Amino acid sequence: MIEMLEKGPRLAKAQNAEVGASKFCPGCGHGMILKTLAQTIDELELNDKAIFGCDIGCSLLSWNYMNVDTVQTHHGRTTPVIYGVTRANPDLVGIAYMGDGGGLAIGSQHLVNAAVRSENLLIIVANNTNYGMTGGQMSPTTMPGQKTETTPYGRDCDVTGRPAKGAEMVASIADPEKSFVARASVSNLRKLKSTFKKALKNVDMGGFSFVEVLSVCPLNWRTNNIQTWDRLKTMEEFFEVKEFVQREGLE
Ligand SMILES: Cc1ncc(C[n+]2csc(CCOP(=O)(O)OP(=O)(O)O)c2C)c(N)n1
Ligand code: SF4
């Protein structure tokens, strides 16, 4: 046991062993998503081809998390920055990582343009139903009735509109012959890994991939462990977890 503690946790090669403990709050979903992504990069042996972009929001705390070339940009611009890189270097496998605010609010036009043009990258949106980094305000995906800093009585859809369903929106505009579009959840990391595998293989084949991951933000939700996982279950009832678009030949 002591030997294990001295050795520290087993990290994927695609994780940066130099940085010590991650900067995410205890129990945050970002760490689970990124660790799974790093394991997938290892398993597909994409370590020398992957380029990782993180956005503003808590996703930016991953700027030194991955042991692959990384760039950080602001407000959903991670998407055009990464497909700019892959347009210039088609052999690279581009990954743009962001929150639901970055992906579906301020960066939504980039998401739409990337999807309709089948840009060659994987976009990952970590959906924790709030603006995490800035203190838990309502985001496009805040659920009906959900209390946030800016909806203290619960989200009223008559006033704010309905929550954005990113995966369904992207699926409706993506080219089925070139795309992979799915929603996964941190409640099942094995399934998340197989989803990331298909998404990254599709990018390596020159296609466009989008994966929305239902995530948790215990800090701003003000939830203990049990409440956090109960809330995630409620999210899974509202946001369907499935593969929406899968190009032929992708396994
Ligand atoms: C134009 C502008 N609006 C708002 C902000 C503040 N801001 C920075 S990060 C952020 C929230 C990001 O939330 P999300 O993308 O959902 O990611 P999370 O932190 O939840 O992972 C906001 C509102 C800003 N910096 N500039
Ligand atoms: S505020 Fe929420 S999303 Fe941000 S690191 Fe903490 S738990 Fe994670």
Distance CA 228, CA 230 (A): 5
Distance CA 210, CA 17 (A): 28
Quick one: which ligand is closest to 126's CA?
1
**Least confident span in 19-23, 25-29, 170-174:** 19-23
How high is the mean pLDDT of the chain?
Answer: 95
Provide the 8-state DSSP code for 111: H
* Residue 76 reports pLDDT greater than 70: yes
**Domain carrying residue 48:** 23-246
Is residue 98 in some structural domain? yes
Q: Which of 98, 133, 216, 217 to mutate to test the pocket of ligand 1 (most atoms within 8 A of CB)?
A: 133
186 in Cβ contact with 124 (< 8 Å):
no
Residue 27 alpha carbon, nearest atom of ligand 2: 7
Is residue 55 in some structural domain? yes
Is residue 148 in some structural domain? yes
Selected residue with higher pLDDT from 20 and 183: 183
Residues in Cβ contact with 137 at an 8 Å cutoff, skipping those fewer than 6 apart: 130, 131, 148, 149, 150
The pLDDT assigned to 21 comes to: 80
The pLDDT assigned to 249 comes to: 86
CATH number at 97 reads 3.40.50.970
Q: 183 in ligand 2 pocket by Cβ < 6 Å?
A: no
Average pLDDT over residues 202-206: 97
Q: How confident is the model at residue 22 (pLDDT cuts 50, 70, 90)?
A: confident
Q: How confident is the model at residue 136 (pLDDT cuts 50, 70, 90)?
A: very high
Count: domains in the chain: 1
Is residue 6 in some structural domain? no
88 in Cβ contact with 30 (< 8 Å):
no
Is residue 94 in some structural domain? yes
Q: Which amino acid is at 24?
A: F
